[in-house]
Amino acid sequence: MTETLFTGISQLVTPASGPQRGAAMRELTVIENAALLVRDGLIAWVGAEKEAPSTPETHDLGGVAVVPGLVDPHTHAVWAGNRLADFEARVAGVPYETILAAGGGIRSSIAATAAASIEQLVTLARPRLVALRHSGATTIEVKSGYGMDFEAEVRMLRAVQVLSHEFDLLPTLLIHVPPTENREDYVRGVCDTLIPEVAAESLATAVDVFCEAEAFSVEETWRIFAAAQAHGLKVKLHADQFHAIGGTELACWMGALSVDHLEASGPAQIAALAASETVATILPGVTLHLGLPAAPGRALIDAGAAVAVGTDLNPGSSPLFSVQMALALSVRLNGLTPAEALTACTVNAAAALGLSDRGSLSAGMRADFLALHDPDWRELPYTLGANPVRDVFVKGVK
């Protein structure tokens, strides 16, 4: 048994174990002059330092704020090539969907990624994951989706598997854009071949689909979800990024872990999410980078939904390498309060991955936590462009 008492915590700030929805997202516990006891990677005790149990080993954090490790519930951190030409075209006025419909955008990342080996993909993704961890992410979801052909899709998931030795990753099979020909054969192959193979080899814990006018229809999404669930995989969805075509309602009805994006969601989609267990994951990096409307974070919380925030780290719509910055942007762009943003990036982001063992600093949870540079935790939602996170502890180890 290993046991360490962390002391010198000016403020320990945490949501209760989650998910938290609606007004409860604002309810944080704040303990001044706190201590945290870690036993074998789990939190054994939390409270005021003067009441702490005595232990042989202590670690003085020096009088700074401590918050739970952040969870990034949505990334596309594995890709090859770049989208710098798209970026220039977009800032000159060409819309993202137009670039995609013309065969660029995601399709150009697919061409570059499909040509890369597993080793090359690992080498490209590693520094991106290091940047996310440095920004406070202790658990990171990583999607495939730039493979298209099944072998390339599986290579992406194998790259995630290799990187799982260095980071806490949750792999998701993303069915991203349809081929320009033989679309029906492709969807059938996804359901009958790719999903069974991925499930049999435990290469992913969930299946995601990009449900959009330029990507997969609601009917195709339903078929892919049904195949995923039949093979014991969870489901989640990219929906309402440009058009609300019904994906959110389908995902809520099918018990999806989360629906992500939601920039184009209206009252019907907000009501569907609020009435379901499905987490509403918003991605402020996309709003910033594509100049899209912001997802209605405020309205979702006011309606009683459980909202999470992610980076959506990817080369095309959100080159955002900091989960802390995603948290800070959700306050500016989506109307979350600082307290709600912390909950969104911790217990709710964990729930968006089907995890209930992390995201809250309470007894029995994983000892994933951050020591900030500052005694006041509000530096975390406040700071833009510098890193307020000093130390990242995963299972009690830096």
Which residues lie near Fe ion (CB under 5 A)? 312
Binding partner of 109, given ligand NIG, Fe ion, none, CB within 5-8 angstroms per partner class: ligand NIG
Between 53 and 82, how does the x/- string for binding to ligand NIG read (CB under 6 A)? Answer: -----------------------x------
State the minimum distance, in angstroms, from the CB of residue 387 to Fe ion.
24
Q: Which residues within the stretch 184-213 sit at the binding site for ligand NIG (CB under 6 A)?
A: 210
The two most distant CA atoms of the chain are separated, in Å, by: 68
Between 90 and 129, how does the x/- string for binding to ligand NIG read (CB under 6 A)? Answer: ---------------xx--x--------------------
| Cα-Cα-Cα-Cα dihedral sign, residues 172, 173, 178, 179 | positive
Size of the site for ligand NIG (CB under 6 A): 13
Residue 316 or 381: which CB sits closer to ligand NIG?
Answer: 316
Query: What does the block give as tokens for 377?
Result: 């935790």
State the minimum distance, in angstroms, from the CB of residue 371 to ligand NIG.
31
Residue 291 or 364: which CB sits closer to ligand NIG?
Answer: 291
Residue 216 or 222: which CB sits closer to ligand NIG?
Answer: 216
236 binds ligand NIG (CB under 6 A): no
Taking the C-alpha atoms of residue 54 and residue 42, their distance in angstroms, rounded to an integer, is 17
State the minimum distance, in angstroms, from the CB of residue 282 to ligand NIG.
12
Between 214 and 233, how does the x/- string for binding to ligand NIG read (CB under 6 A)? Answer: --------------------
144 binds ligand NIG (CB under 6 A): no
Residue 240 or 312: which CB sits closer to Fe ion?
Answer: 312
181 Cβ partners below 8 Å, 6+ apart? none
Residue 266: C-alpha distances to residues 5, 81, 217, 270, 281 (Å): 48, 35, 19, 6, 15
Binding partner of 296, given ligand NIG, Fe ion, none, CB within 5-8 angstroms per partner class: none
Among 241, 278, 281, 360, binds ligand NIG (CB under 6 A): 241
Taking the C-alpha atoms of residue 12 and residue 341, their distance in angstroms, rounded to an integer, is 16
Residue 76 or 234: which CB sits closer to ligand NIG?
Answer: 76
Binding site for ligand NIG (CB under 6 A): 76, 105-106, 109, 210, 238, 241, 286, 312, 314-317
